[in-house]
A = this chain, B = another copy of it.
Amino acid sequence: MTSSLAGATQEEVRRHNLGRLLRILHLGGPVSRADITRLTGLNRSTVGALTTDLARAGLAVERDPVGRGVGRPSIMVTPHESGAFALAFDLRVERTIAAVVSLGGAVASRREARHTNRDPDPEAVFRQLERLTAELLADAPAGAVCLGVGLAIPGVVRHSDGLVRFAPNMGWVDVPVAAMLEARIPGAGPIVVGNDADMGAIAEHLRGVGRGSANMVFLAGQVGVGGGIILDGRLMVGAGGYGGEVGHMVVNPGGRRCRCGRRGCWETEIGEEAVVRALGGQPGDPVDALLAEVPSAAEAGRLGEIGRWLGIGVGNLVNVFNPDVVVCGGLLSKLLPLVADQVRDELEAALTAPREQVRLALPGMDRDAALIGAAESVFAPLLDDPIGCVERVRERAA
């Protein structure tokens, strides 16, 4: 008994340590072997063996250090950016963004295409997506390994099979997005389809303003308001993958009818339509242009009610989740600076204990958060088991 179990777990330890090292490289960039030793607590010879393994697998590059220091200089280890990549898609209401995201997290190349009409036909979107992918792959470095496909969409996604149950602002109901991707881009590897706010939350948690915060609420507001929740360092998924629909908390039962059918959901009070209305615009007017005309918080009186609703909802989330940080993304990132006072006043009324622990923040990533999060969903299994993951990719390709 003992030897076989011990054998299995020795391999597990190696796998675990390879993952830790690759995670350091992937999220932190180039680092010396000496720093890895310090960061991990592993001894020098172990670190040397592990980085050599990563280099052999095509995931890291080892280089003699440039310049002279005191003592023997330590070898620099770099993520092998042209060694492996993820295909990432950010499906938005009005357009599709496609990118090759390299190991290390950089966007190596990207393409965009607008949808030809509102409520776009899924088949047309996936044809477009196939074309963008062909262009991207033509540019990908020779020999680079495609680890898989990640896609973010503003909708409710079934975790088990990537079925989009409901994407109200695209007019999609029960669209088998993962299956359609598989048909259009066969052989690209595992496919992960996720809600855009969940994907954005992953990106902000790993690389943005949520770095170091184990408990984060990420709000992605535009037409609707989505939420991605990180708890104890992990994305909240729920029973089917539908968790985090904080835009559909009823906060004002006497309010307007929501697209979901209920009355007074949070997104009816702070979403795009509400902002346009508050600024005197007509339905369909471009909210960004209207907001740009609001010169400063002092003159933002017309947004006061919206600020109050933003604060009430954030207060609810603070009481319910006790996060370290609430990140206001998308439209809310433009709104927050204009209504910070109203939000603060409402937030003051949340329970003292969780309120004292929370900060409000603007996103640390640019508008690529969902795209990067989609890529990180593809990188996640690689960071759990680097060598095994690469071997599986090569077997698939053979």
**What is A's interface to B at a CB cutoff of 8 Å?**
1-2, 5-7, 9-10, 12-13, 43, 45-46, 49, 156, 158, 165-166, 213-215, 227, 231-232, 234, 236-246, 248-254, 260-262, 312, 315-316, 319-324, 349-354, 357-358
Contact = CB atoms under 8 A, between A and B. Distances in A.
B166 A353 contact: yes
A214 B197 CA distance: 23
A261 B346 CA distance: 11
12 contacts: A1-B49, A9-B9, A9-B12, A215-B239, A231-B236, A231-B238, A232-B237, A238-B321, A241-B322, A248-B319, A249-B316, A254-B254
Contact of A352 (B13, B43, B166, B315): B166
Contacts of A214: 239
Contacts of A251: 250-251, 253
A5 B10 contact: yes
Given A156-B353, A349-B262, A323 B239 contact: yes
Contact of A13 (B5, B43, B349): B5
A238 B312 contact: no
A1 B46 contact: yes
A353 B232 contact: no
Given A166-B352, A353-B156, A242 B10 contact: no
Given A245-B351, A253-B252, A352-B165, A323 B238 contact: yes
A250 B357 contact: no
A247 B214 CA distance: 24
A36 B101 CA distance: 47
A246 B250 CA distance: 13
Given A231-B236, A252-B253, A10 B6 contact: yes
A351 B260 contact: yes
Contact of A249 (B43, B166, B319): B319
Contacts of A322: 237-245
A36 to B, nearest CB: 15
Contacts of A316: 248-250
A354 B352 CA distance: 31
Given A6-B7, A240-B322, 13 more contacts: A156-B351, A156-B353, A166-B351, A214-B239, A231-B243, A239-B323, A239-B358, A242-B357, A245-B320, A246-B320, A249-B316, A249-B320, A250-B251
Contact of A242 (B12, B253, B354): B354
Nearest to A155: B353
Nearest to A246: B320
Contacts of A5: 10, 13
A178 to B, nearest CB: 15
Nearest to A165: B353
A266 B352 CA distance: 18
A264 to B, nearest CB: 9
A30 B379 CA distance: 44
Contact of A354 (B12, B13, B213, B245): B245
Contact of A9 (B10, B227, B254, B351): B10
A193 to B, nearest CB: 14
Contacts of A246: 319-320
Q: Which of A7, A10, A43, A158 has the most CB of B within 10 A?
A: A10
A273 to B, nearest CB: 19
A157 to B, nearest CB: 9
A240 B354 contact: yes
A266 to B, nearest CB: 9
A327 to B, nearest CB: 14
A189 to B, nearest CB: 25
A241 B354 CA distance: 9
Nearest to A237: B232
Given A245-B319, A253-B312, A10 B2 contact: yes
